[in-house]
């Protein structure tokens, strides 16, 4: 009987601790969003048919005074290492948004697209961010 009371007390204490921990995390002001100066950063790679793949990237800043610059690369994955495919680097820039895309025929292997984005206010770099597409396996 005494063991049951102790177990019930420990379970109640554990339940209370779990509830308090959850509320502390929910109200934690130290938790930050993924980006502060970007509203989105995107990289995509997909088969458009007939062995042609579309590589695309974009980034958007939520403020009309900010300039966005991106570098999109196609990377081949071998083991745990990614290398940029020769001739598959594109850049774009613009106020608020930047986007670019290309089409390529790919040799067999594993690939992903990589967008590296930078956002500027005047000449001051505010933030950088990276996005990767899903890995696509080309036969």
Q: What is the pLDDT of residue 7?
A: 55
Q: What is the pLDDT of residue 18?
A: 47
Strand, helix or coil at 81?
Answer: strand
Sign of torsion, CA 9 11 16 20? positive
Q: What is the pLDDT of residue 42?
A: 96
Angle among Cα 111, 114, 115 to the nearest 5 degrees reads 160
Least confident of 11-25, 57-71, 86-100, 112-126: 11-25
Higher pLDDT, 56 or 24: 56
d(C-alpha 42, C-alpha 54), whole Å: 14
Least confident of 27-31, 32-36, 87-91, 126-130: 27-31
Closest C-alpha among 110, 84, 92, 109 to residue 56: 92
Strand order in the sheet with 40-49: 40-49, 52-60, 97-105
Tokens of 6: 């102790």
Render pLDDT for 98-139 as a digit per residue (tens, 0 to 9). 999 999 999 999 999 999 999 999 999 999 999 999 999 998
């Amino acid at each position: 009987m005494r063991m049951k009371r102790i177990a019930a007390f420990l379970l109640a204490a554990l339940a209370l601790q779990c509830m308090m921990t959850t509320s502390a995390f929910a109200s934690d002001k130290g938790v930050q969003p993924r980006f502060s100066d970007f509203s989105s950063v995107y990289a995509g790679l997909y088969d458009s048919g007939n062995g042609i793949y579309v590589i695309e990237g974009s980034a958007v800043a939520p403020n009309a005074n900010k300039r966005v610059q991106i570098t999109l690369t196609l990377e081949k994955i071998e083991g745990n290492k990614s290398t940029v495919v020769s001739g598959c680097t594109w850049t774009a820039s613009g106020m608020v948004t930047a986007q670019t895309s290309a089409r390529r025929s790919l040799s067999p292997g594993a690939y992903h697209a990589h967008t590296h984005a930078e956002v500027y206010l005047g000449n001051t770099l505010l933030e950088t961010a990276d996005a990767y597409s899903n890995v696509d396996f080309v036969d």
